């Protein structure tokens, strides 16, 4: 079994400093086997924001696997945006845009889904799909395989038209053929997860798509700052949302999945704290195509004073 701390959307430039300090303390206590950061280190891809993010990363547990998000590409500097979109990210955060972590149980590949031609959206290239094939397909049986992108493959339960990765359906065969078990992403600043097949009816393999909320940004969208604590072994995966509650990160909602006959099934979802319990009671699933389980993934909580941005992430 391996533990992964999955954090996302730090957004230096719009940082909630007490929350950022709380995250350092919580991750030091939790001691993950791997820390994954799924993009949006900065708010506006400025040098100073990258420098602060880089200093912050040094205070977090290792090993780390990091990828950029759309906010790490300059928005207004058009020259740099098209000629060297990730030059600051590569110089200050990581020079590796196709990072891989591998041990004897776990294989994790990061893919850069940001593009110069769009500020919000993102997609993968043919070369990146080839990268998945050549680096992941030959892994021995029994390993858990994970792909990390900034843009999510599935929308949140109540936002069926949200900004998911473009042309996602064309990547499914490659992921399935290589036996990818989990997809990790961020971008929408919402914590939720489900089987890929809840969105792509044509998907031939059951794959868990897990999104993290924003760990430290003030641009919250009706949820507290949070990150995912993922425990995974072949055929089993538990996703615990660790949410900021008053002055510390606490386990808020725990969901356990088991892979039965090749399909990920939600076995149990436990609201650990009173806030998550209240949310699950007050917000039952309403979508016609929602799973038949009595609760939804995610922690839709609105602390006083939160922003309710529905625009750019």
- Footprint of Fe ion on this chain (CB under 5 A)? 9, 40, 69-70, 187, 313
The nearest distance, CB 162 to Fe ion, in angstroms, is 12
The nearest distance, CB 248 to Fe ion, in angstroms, is 23
CB closer to Fe ion, 54 vs 290: 54
CB closer to Fe ion, 70 vs 255: 70
CB closer to Fe ion, 88 vs 313: 313
In 3-state terms the chain splits into helix, strand, coil percentages (rounded to 5) of 25, 30, 50
Partnered with residue 28 across adjacent β-strands are none
Q: How far apart are CA 147 and CA 44, in angstroms?
A: 26
The nearest distance, CB 141 to Fe ion, in angstroms, is 35
Nearest residue to 299 via CA among 246, 240, 218: 240
CB closer to Fe ion, 190 vs 241: 190
The nearest distance, CB 150 to Fe ion, in angstroms, is 6
Nearest residue to 241 via CA among 195, 192, 285: 192
CB closer to Fe ion, 111 vs 144: 111
The nearest distance, CB 281 to Fe ion, in angstroms, is 29
Helices (H), the chain: 17-30, 47-57, 78-83, 87-92, 126-136, 172-177, 274-282
Q: How far apart are CA 185 and CA 170, in angstroms?
A: 18
Nearest residue to 244 via CA among 217, 278, 209, 281: 217
């Amino acid at each position: 079994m391996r533990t992964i701390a999955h954090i996302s959307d730090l957004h230096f430039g719009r940082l909630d400093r007490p929350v950022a300090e709380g995250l350092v303390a919580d991750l030091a206590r939790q001691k993950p086997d791997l820390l994954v950061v799924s993009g949006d280190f900065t708010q506006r891809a400025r040098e100073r924001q990258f420098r602060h993010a880089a200093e912050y990363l040094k205070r977090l547990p290792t090993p780390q696997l990091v990828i950029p998000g759309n906010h790490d590409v300059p928005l207004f500097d058009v020259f740099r945006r098209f000629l060297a979109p990730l030059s600051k990210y590569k110089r200050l955060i990581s020079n590796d845009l196709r990072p891989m972590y591998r041990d004897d149980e776990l294989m994790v590949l990061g893919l850069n889904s940001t593009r110069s031609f769009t500020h919000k959206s993102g997609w993968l290239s043919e070369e990146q799909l080839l990268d998945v094939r050549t680096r992941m397909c030959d892994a021995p049986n029994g390993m858990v395989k994970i792909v990390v992108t900034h843009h999510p493959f599935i929308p949140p339960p109540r936002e069926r038209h949200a900004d998911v990765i473009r042309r996602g359906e064309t990547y499914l065969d490659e992921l399935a053929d290589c036996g990818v078990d989990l997809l990790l992403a961020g971008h929408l600043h919402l914590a939720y997860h489900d089987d890929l097949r809840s969105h792509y009816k044509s998907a031939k393999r059951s794959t868990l798509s897990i999104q993290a909320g924003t760990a430290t940004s003030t641009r919250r969208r009706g949820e507290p700052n949070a990150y995912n604590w993922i425990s995974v072994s072949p055929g089993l995966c538990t996703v615990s949302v660790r949410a900021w509650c008053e002055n510390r990160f606490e386990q808020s909602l725990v969901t356990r999945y088991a892979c039965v006959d090749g399909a990920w099934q939600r076995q149990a979802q436990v609201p650990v704290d009173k806030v998550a319990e209240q949310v699950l009671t007050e917000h039952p699933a309403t979508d016609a195509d929602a799973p038949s389980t009595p609760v939804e993934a995610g922690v839709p909580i609105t602390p006083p004073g939160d922003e309710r941005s529905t625009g750019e992430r």
